[in-house]
A and B are shown apart, each in its own frame.
Chain A
Amino acid sequence: MLFWQESRICLGCLILLLASAGSLQAAEGAVQLSPANTKVQFVGSHVVPQKPDPNERHGEFKKLNGTAVLTDGKLNSLELTIETSSLASGIDKLDAHLKSPDFFNVRQYPRATFRSTKIETTEPGKAKVTGNFTLLKETKPISFDVSYSTSDSLKLTAKFTVDRSKFGMNYGIDKVEKDVELTVAIGG
């Protein structure tokens, strides 16, 4: 009887230990990014006098992968690879146009990548991420602010704009704004 009670206590301890190790794992080391835990969305606006554009276009990339590395509960590095052909706006005709050489040219450039080079903590739970963003044939440094928490598992959000013309995406500059708003959301 005593043996069974001790066994149950030990089993309970083991489960607690594993659970705490699991949550530690989520807050430390490498976190694999996939469509299950990460969303990359974009908003494009037309060149119209009324701002914000009432007909702005929202879309997201359905296929991506990457890694976020956490050290001592802080974001240490961030890498993300997006399959550009997975873009989806909910409008078939728009998707076809965005995938064409006018914009993402997905047959020639099937991937867009981001690799952080520097992450500076600005205040607890906030950081400035700098890295190289490759889109089409161009790789350019970009910086953006992120809010994140690592207490339970990694949760991160970032909203920033990218000037598409700097990456050679120049088509329709007189119709579609150069600045595209990107939102990255990990976890949560």
Chain B
Amino acid sequence: MPFTQNDLIYGLGVPLVAGLLLLMNLRWMLPQSIGRRYAPAVAFTGAFQIGYWSLKLGTLIPEGHWQWLPHCLAVAAIVGAISASSDLTLLDRFLLYAIAAAGMSFLLIPTWEELAPPRPQYIMIWSGTVVALTLLLHPLVKNLPGVILPWTFFATSMTAAVILTHSGSLLFGQIGIAAMGGLLGITLVSAIDRNCRSLDGIEFPIAVYLCSVMMIGHVNSFSNIPVSAYAIVPFAPLGLTLSLFGPLATLKGRSLVIAQLLLPLIICATALGIAFWFEPLSSGGEEALY
């Protein structure tokens, strides 16, 4: 285990408790119409922020491109909650996501000359991916109230944390763990409290988070992990789409649950398989990291 007890307590344990308490309390305290939209997005990003700042992973005034992540996630939580309003059309949501993602991309995409593809292309690809992923996650958020969706987000964030750590940066691994802790808290509370099973508004911050950390991990890595491993991870939750639309939509009962659990995990396992195939665990293990 490359992480210390301190990393796990403040990086995983505290965000877990924060995610759980934030979602439960915000749903309980806020009026129904507001709590439905704000609680999930604020619980996820709030739990992440608590883990990030507890471990002092960055500075309030960012000194590097990746240090904009907590700031961007704070904005993403608000945009996500606003976009969950039932008054908005698909076009409204698309424009909202596109403007927010484009703005964030200018902060998150590094300005290095040797960036490949070049920064303007990177900005377009990253922003387009965030918007597309958010729109594709929306039907899942609307049609899958329950534990399956937060569990899928948790499993995806765990995959992201493993790949970030395996890429050679424990700092980015800690960032991944903070988000993972928050999503585990949300998964637990959604299993306990029926009022917390709808995750309206969470799709945009989830898409921003996953696309950001995978981009950050990739551009800063000196490992042999190919770009495909990073690119696959954000799309893992979309495995659930096959259980809603398509040939697996006819499944019922236990078969449906197994399919819903397995489909995203297959995508996560594929990403992990690629990462570990091209960058095997060294014989020195974690000791070789220091």
- Chain A interfacial positions (CB closer than 8 Å to B): 44, 46, 55, 57, 91-97, 99-102, 105, 107-108, 137, 168, 171-172, 174-176
Contacts and interface: CB of A to CB of B under 8 A. Distances in A.
Contacts, number: 67
B168 A100 contact: yes
Contacts of A172: 170, 290
Interface residues of B, number: 26
Given A91-B288, A174-B4, 16 more contacts: A44-B290, A55-B287, A57-B290, A93-B168, A94-B290, A96-B168, A96-B223, A97-B169, A97-B170, A97-B290, A99-B222, A101-B172, A102-B171, A108-B64, A172-B290, A176-B290
A162 to B, nearest CB: 18
A116 B202 CA distance: 54
B112 interface: yes
Given A100-B171, A100-B220, A101-B169, A108 B112 contact: yes
Interface of B: 4, 6, 63-66, 110, 112, 114, 167-172, 219-223, 282, 284, 287-290
B222 A100 contact: yes
A100 B284 contact: no
A29 B63 CA distance: 40
B171 A101 contact: yes
Contacts of A101: 64, 66, 169, 171-172, 220
A97 B63 contact: no
Contact of A171 (B112, B171, B288): B171
Contact of B282 (A46, A93, A99, A102): A93
The binding surface of chain A is classed by DSSP as loop
Contacts of B64: 101, 105, 108
Residue among A102, A137, A174 having the largest count of chain B Cβ atoms under 10 Å: A102
B290 A92 contact: no
14 contacts: A91-B284, A92-B282, A94-B289, A95-B222, A96-B221, A96-B223, A99-B222, A100-B221, A102-B169, A105-B64, A107-B220, A108-B110, A171-B170, A176-B290
